[in-house]
Amino acid sequence: MHPMLNIAVRAARSAGTIIARGFENRSELNIEQKGINDFVTKIDKEAEVAIISKIQEAYPDHSFLGEEGGTINNNPDFTWVIDPLDGTTNFIRGIPHFAVSIALLYKGKLDQGVVFDPIRGELFAGSKGAGAQLNGYRIRATKTKDMSSCILATAFPFRNKARLDESLTQFQRIFEKVGDVRRSGSAALDLAYVAAGRYDGYWEKGLNSWDIAAGELLVKEAGGLITDYDGNNDPLYAEMKQAGSANGLVAGNPRVVQHIVKSLKS
């Protein structure tokens, strides 16, 4: 395992311990609302602090971009992009589907990525050019070409319901030609599941860099493709330039991505 990936794994497991403990004591969460349908708990904050502290033990001069305000600008060549608890609403409601997401950008390019599900004990990890693994075993995106048998994942614009009509129209175009569609509430796990071949594809708009960074690396290292809604590559980097600017994200094998993008553009 790459040394920096090893540190990311340790940091993810450290945060996972905090999250699992908090999940058993949800009456003490101290829930705050950041925006419309956007929540944060003390566990999110404690987990992010734990991640940054663990990484800083090994790399004290690295930079950080964390969802809960853990932004530290040091060495611009190394930036860790962190979502300490992706799926906070699931976590609050007792739905056991959420994850820790940690990615490392080296000179602006994805280099390492970890998505850790602390409830199932599933660790998805990948290094640039070295493939992706689930609990140490190699994973690959599906090669499905028959759209009628595909299982996809998506999300609806729960923070911006003015876009609902557009989203439902796009959903209908895609749904009519595939096997089924899931909506789980964790972008990080959706992407990890695409990398592991559990889902054939995934699309969503309105994501942030910390939602997608680690998952994007996993999909690419598992042989999948990532584009924006127009079929352009690297939606993460567009989002990094200006928060909320990314034109959506589509993931899957090339055949599935082509179908989703075509349906979205229609």
Tell me the CA distances in angstroms from 201 to 26, 28, 171, one per residue in order.
Answer: 33, 37, 13
Tell me, what's the pLDDT at 24?
Answer: 86
Domain count along the chain: 2
Q: Are residues 175 and 240 in the same domain?
A: yes
Tell me, what's the pLDDT at 243?
Answer: 53
Tell me, what's the pLDDT at 100?
Answer: 98
Q: Are residues 36 and 113 in the same domain?
A: yes
Q: In 107-172, where do the E strands start and end?
A: 109-117, 122-127, 131-134, 137-138, 151-154
Cα separation, 70 vs 58, in Å, equals 17
Contact 183, 156 (CB under 8 A): yes
Q: Are residues 258 and 153 in the same domain?
A: yes
Tell me, what's the pLDDT at 37?
Answer: 44
Domain that holds residue 236: 147-265
Q: Are residues 260 and 201 in the same domain?
A: yes
Q: Which of 106, 138, 170 is the last residue in one of the domains?
A: 138
What CATH number has the domain bearing residue 261? 3.40.190.80
Q: Are residues 156 and 173 in the same domain?
A: yes
Cα separation, 144 vs 167, in Å, equals 25
Q: Are residues 46 and 127 in the same domain?
A: yes
Tokens of 59: 């790399």
Q: Are residues 126 and 157 in the same domain?
A: no
Q: Which of 79, 111, 138 is the last residue in one of the domains?
A: 138
Tell me, what's the pLDDT at 145?
Answer: 84
Q: Are residues 30 and 131 in the same domain?
A: yes
Tell me, what's the pLDDT at 31?
Answer: 65
Q: Among 188, 34, 218, which residue's Cα sits nearest to residue 98?
A: 188
Q: Are residues 247 and 152 in the same domain?
A: yes
Q: Which of 138, 164, 179 is the last residue in one of the domains?
A: 138
Instruction: For the chain, list residues with pLDDT below 50.
Output: 37, 244-245
Tell me, what's the pLDDT at 224?
Answer: 97
Encode pLDDT of 39-52 as tens digits.
567 888 999 999 99
